[in-house]
Amino acid sequence: MIIELDFTKARIENLPTPPRRSNGKTGEQWYKDASKHSTPKLQLRLSSTGIKTWYYVAKIDGTTSKIRLGGYPELTPTQAREARSKTSGEISLGENPQQIKAVNRARDLQHTFTLQDALDLHLANNDLRPPTRAGYSQCFSSKVNGLSKWLDKPLANISRTMVKKWYRHRLKSTKSSAMLESRYLRAVINTAIAEAKDKHIVLLEHGNPCDGLASVNKEKKVKLKPRTGYIRPSDMPAFYSALLNLYSDHPTSNFETAKDYLLFLLFSGCRVDETAKLKRDDINLKRKIFILRKPKNGEDDIELPLNHVLFEITERRLAKRSTYLFSDSTGKKPLKRPAKALA
């Protein structure tokens, strides 16, 4: 219900603060001008937080719109009536004040919203796993790829030409890194564009500056070759035999741990990093299970069975009394890629 009120400073100052809604959200009370200068188009909103805001309420293009004029006491009743008259005049000339404000907001945002702002927004809006989050941070802080120099630039100042030039330079160093970095850059800017679009603001008039990279890939014939460093089925018996007979007389190579680690990978099918990070508490010999903590393909922990081979490996590793099931030579950190053992 809208209450009529003679808008004076004294009456506005003494208005009672409305209570919050039953669901805990902010409550409000609307007032319309009842003075001799009254017009139903000038209204005052008082929230349960005590904030008072002037609005011009009118039909624009057949739709009732509430156009914010400013807050009280920044705008006195007299100034609010003047702002209402100005807005009414703009509408009578066929202008839409809301569209004008949206254009001005977009113009301001284009000159102030930086790549660092976009990165912060992307990391805040997306539930990324720690390795992925670390990948973004490393990518945009690296002095090698040059993206760190762009962090303070407004997105509107990062052109397609700049991105293409940067991408061609990166391709000369390493194709895989260039493609990954460009995907990160594209994703960060897309998040910013989508966020602005939700607020009816056009952040970048010409779209994502990374959209032109497809032509560079075609021009440079950029295509990553699939990996060839895998064990073919026909070679598996020989590889397995060599693994079982892996010598352990080298004092610094930690071959015993590497052997158990590689066997665990073979018989579990788990990912390299997830297996290396298995801890003592992740193994339950009584139930014959092991637990992968927050695996890459899901948010929840996964319980998997220990077959007889995995059971023997885990039982042997638990006797080592280290924090991780497969520790490095220090016994305090998870095992990294056992390059010597694989060789």
Longest Cα separation, the chain: 100
The amino acid at 119 = L
110 half-sphere exposure, CB direction, 13 A CA radius: 18
Q: Which two tokens stand for residue 201?
A: 């603001």
Burial class of residue 280 in the structure, from the number of CB atoms within 10 Å of its CB (0-12 exposed, 13-18 middle, 19+ buried): middle
**pLDDT grade, residue 127 (50/70/90)?**
confident
pLDDT > 80? residue 75: yes
Measured in Å, how far apart are the chain's first and last C-alpha atoms?
A: 79
pLDDT of residue 130: 78
Structure-model confidence comparison of residues 216 and 306, the more confident one: 306
pLDDT of residue 219: 77
Instruction: Judge whether 139 and 180 are in contact, CB under 8 Å.
Output: yes
**pLDDT grade, residue 62 (50/70/90)?**
low
259 half-sphere exposure, CB direction, 13 A CA radius: 19
pLDDT of residue 196: 83
**pLDDT grade, residue 325 (50/70/90)?**
very high
**pLDDT grade, residue 40 (50/70/90)?**
low
Looking at every residue in the chain, the average pLDDT score rounds to 84
Rounded average pLDDT over 79-99 = 71
Please write down the HEC assignment for all residues of 84-144.
HHHHHHHHHCCCCHHHHHHHHHHHHHHHHCEHHHHHHHHHHHCCCCHHHHHHHHHHHHCCC
Rounded Cα distance between 84 and 97, Å, is 11
